[in-house]
């Protein structure tokens, strides 16, 4: 198992293809948006950014249980890779602290 981890750690990162890099960010975002419309549960996600280096930032508009979120987002990323470009990487937009209890206590977390 350790050899497998070392192989993956030393592997080159897949870069985006020329066709992905050539189109405008507006068109890249539109392509991702169309894929999200086809993916069950991702219809309400908002595409914030789609860089030519393959980083796609989305905003999740609904609650996904923590025990399902990781696998769901990995599968969504793989779908985007399979349908658009192998060099894509999915990122979620950072959000502030939503805890109502901490807000009531007056605890503030600096980001």
Taking the C-alpha atoms of residue 88 and residue 83, their distance in angstroms, rounded to an integer, is: 10
Residue 62 within a domain: yes
Q: Which two tokens stand for residue 6?
A: 């070392």
What domain count does the chain have? 1
Taking the whole predicted model, whether its pTM rises above 0.85 is answered as no
Angle between helices 66-83 and 25-38 (to 10 degrees): 120
Please provide the average confidence, as pLDDT, over all residues in the chain.
86
Q: Which domain holds residue 20?
A: 2-105
Q: Look at residue 109 and tell me whether its pLDDT is greater than 70.
A: no
Of 48, 81, 44, nearest in space to 64 by CA: 44
pLDDT-derived band of residue 6, with 50, 70 and 90 as boundaries?
Answer: low
Q: Does 41 fall in a domain?
A: yes
Residue 86 belongs to a domain with what CATH number? Answer: 3.30.70.2210
In a domain, 19, yes or no: yes
60 falls within a domain: yes
As a whole number of angstroms, the distance between CA 94 and CA 73 comes to: 15
- Which among 105, 106, 80, 107 is positioned nearest to 91, based on CA atoms? 80
User: What pLDDT does 105 receive?
Assistant: 65
Residue 90 in any domain: the answer is: yes
Q: Is 45 within a domain?
A: yes
Q: Is 106 left (phi over 0), alpha (psi -120 to 50) or beta?
A: left
**Strand locations in 11-109, DSSP E?**
46-50, 55-59, 89-92
Q: How far is CA 46 from the centre of its chain?
A: 11
Residue 110 lies inside a defined structural domain of this protein:
no
pLDDT tens digits, residue range 49-73?
999 999 999 999 888 888 999 999 9
Domain membership flag for residue 111? no
């Amino acid at each position: 198992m350790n050899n497998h981890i070392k192989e993956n750690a030393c592997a080159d990162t897949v870069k985006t293809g020329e066709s992905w890099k050539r189109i405008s960010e507006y068109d890249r975002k539109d392509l991702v948006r169309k894929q999200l419309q086809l993916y069950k549960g991702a219809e309400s996600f908002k595409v914030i950014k789609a860089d030519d280096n393959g980083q796609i930032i989305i905003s999740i508009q609904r609650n996904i249980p923590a025990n399902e979120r990781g696998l769901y987002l990995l599968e969504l990323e793989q779908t985007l890779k399979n349908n658009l470009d192998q060099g894509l990487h999915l990122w979620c937009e950072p959000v502030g602290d939503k805890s109502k209890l901490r807000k009531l206590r007056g605890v503030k977390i600096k980001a």
